[in-house]
Amino acid sequence: MSGQPAGTRGPGLAAYAAHEDRSPGRLYPEPAPTHRGEYQRDRDRVIHSSAFRRLVYKTQVFVNHEGDLYRTRLTHSLEVAQIARTVAGVTGLNEYLVEAICLAHDLGHTPFGHAGQDALNGCMREFGGFEHNFQSLRVVDRLEEKYAEFVGLNLMYETREGILKHCSPARAREIGKLGERFLEKRQPGLEAQLANLADEIAYNSHDVDDGLRAGLLDIQELRQVAIFDELHQAVMDRHPELGGRRLIYEIVRRLIGVLVDDVIDESARRIAEAGPRSIEDVRTAGGPLIAFSDPVASSHRELKRFLMGHLYKHPRVLGMTKKARRIVSSLFDAFNDDVRLMPVGFADTAEARQREQGDGGRARVVADYIAGMTDRYAILEYQRLFTPGQND
């Protein structure tokens, strides 16, 4: 036995991957774990967090009560992690780190998906806005309350770097070292780049699946998209009698396979061309090294455009989107006007922030409370506050 914690390196970990013994570490120093690596500990902390458990009742496109078969933020996060770990294992990246990033990347999402985020961003416009990537970082850095010696989950630098995919210059200046790459226009590590692309692969592929399952997408209309048509034809050539759910799943799994294989091949090409010898070389590269090839990137964009026009703007989805925005906006206005409508802990914190930071401090606590809600809890709170005859 070497005495090295399990999972710190792993066989085949490339020089340009994230190595925990070269990491800036954690915000609050801690003793090293005995039987696992630091990134494994990050993954485990995310899985045991309250915010992660709530993802089971937060939705992608469909609202939670519309059916049990549609994907939630939790199932999506697991699917993203599975895709990313596959690619990481082939390309010599740190599988534990990429898994931790993928499982944490949606922790800051509001109820009702992007509709909730847009509504909360509008409510917070005069107080710095609301963006779910930054909120995910806020969750792991400040809002989770579990440990005696520090606030948040105290994750490793590289995990936090991967969670924060986007950041405005103003916010980047607020968060110190983690925000420097946005100001200096540097790349994140390859594990963070991979998590971002795996998110896209899972999101679009599985929205095709859910959209067809819900009857909002038509398989013949989807054949307008070149990559879908090619895969549909390949399946029918091999299984001419196949139909229903099995046909859809066969196409979707092949779609994921095509995208993953292309990411592996194109990323290997870019890495070989750039020749990074450390994660710092990755960060100073002129562009991302984990990417689709140009033809597949074009095909993927075509699929995204189709989904935007036919699924996300479907009348049924838009109807729920309108309701979701009204719920979130109404909750924000009510809680911001009277913080005592929130649970005692949030109300006390909001009043303290009001004294310390003014209206913006109070509003940020209200946003934290709403962002942490599940779909069904937000609906119940709306009914409690605005439906006559409801009990307090």
Q: Tell me: the pLDDT tens digits for 346-359?
A: 999 999 999 999 99
Q: How far apart are CA 271 and CA 227, in angstroms?
A: 26
- What SS3 class is residue 48? coil
Angle between helical axes of 294-307 and 244-274 (0-180°, round to 10): 140
- Going by pLDDT thresholds of 50, 70 and 90, the confidence category of residue 59 is confident
| Backbone phi and psi for residue 59, each to the nearest 5 degrees, phi listed first | -105, 165
65-87 residue pLDDT tens: 444 446 789 999 999 999 999 99
H or E element: which one contains 265? helix 244-274
CATH dotted code for 20-316:
1.10.3210.10
Q: How far apart are CA 318 and CA 314, in angstroms?
A: 6
- The token duo for 67 is 């059916």
Q: How far apart are CA 88 and CA 99, in angstroms?
A: 9
Residue-wise DSSP of 119-174: HHHHHTGGGT---HHHHHHHIIIII----SSSSS---BHHHHHHH-----HHHHHH
Q: Which residues contact 244 (CB under 8 A, 6 or more apart)?
A: none
| Backbone phi and psi for residue 373, each to the nearest 5 degrees, phi listed first | -75, 150
Percent of the chain with pLDDT over 70: 93
- Going by pLDDT thresholds of 50, 70 and 90, the confidence category of residue 4 is very low
294-326 residue pLDDT tens: 999 999 999 999 999 998 888 888 888 899 999
179-208 residue pLDDT tens: 999 999 999 999 999 999 999 999 999 999
113-153 residue pLDDT tens: 888 999 999 999 999 999 999 999 999 999 999 999 999 99
Residue-wise DSSP of 301-324: HHHHHHHIIIIITSHHHHHHHHHH
Q: State mean pLDDT over 333-337.
A: 98
Residue with more model confidence, 3 or 196: 196
